[in-house]
Amino acid sequence: MTTPTALGTDEARSRLHELTVIDVRTPGEYAGGHLPGALNIPLDQIQRALPDIRHASERGDVLVVCASGARSETACRILAENGVATATLSGGTGAWAADGHDLHRPKGTSRAAWGMERQVRFTAGTVVLLGLLLGLLVHPAFQLLSAGIAAGLVFSAVTNTCGVAVMLAKLPHNRPRAADLDNTLAALRDR
């Protein structure tokens, strides 16, 4: 691959016409706005899409994108372990939008989906409040729920991973429909 392992938003924008862009966020996040021409292959489907991504990388450079860059770095690492050279977008779609570049939304998207980070914050906050409330009203041992979430957040920050995000990604609204993923893979093969 002729590109560095990370592209800035301006360089990615100037090369967009020659890149195969793969967005590894959940379908809901993708529907909320993505780089022009990006194909949605959620991170947990990368292994399934590996032959098609490899084929695309043989025809040209592949840029992997997510919300902030963490999931795309993971995807790039998985792909590199399987002999597929890719680059990631520094700062993800958040940086893309912050730099004034347009995000595209699929036709028929009626509501904005929450990004994974927002879903994680909501879930963690809800469990913390629930643990504190149950600890006050039922039994103090319920406060361990809040302590567990705090420990999980510290672990998540130190390791740059997120178990809650992995669990939330398995919810139906965060999963691609089989037909959607099949259509995306067919589009990837046709590029």
pTM, to two decimals: 0.72
Nearest to 97 by CA among 109, 79, 110, 115: 115
The set of residues, in sequence order, having a beta carbon less than 8 Å from that of 57 and lying 6+ positions away, is 1, 20, 79, 84, 85, 86
Q: What is the pLDDT along the chain (191 residues), one digit of tens a residue?
A: 444 589 999 999 999 999 999 999 988 788 888 999 999 999 989 999 999 999 999 999 999 999 888 889 999 999 999 999 999 999 999 999 999 998 888 776 555 667 778 888 999 999 999 999 999 999 999 999 999 999 999 998 888 778 888 788 778 777 766 668 888 888 888 77
Which residues are designated catalytic?
Answer: 66
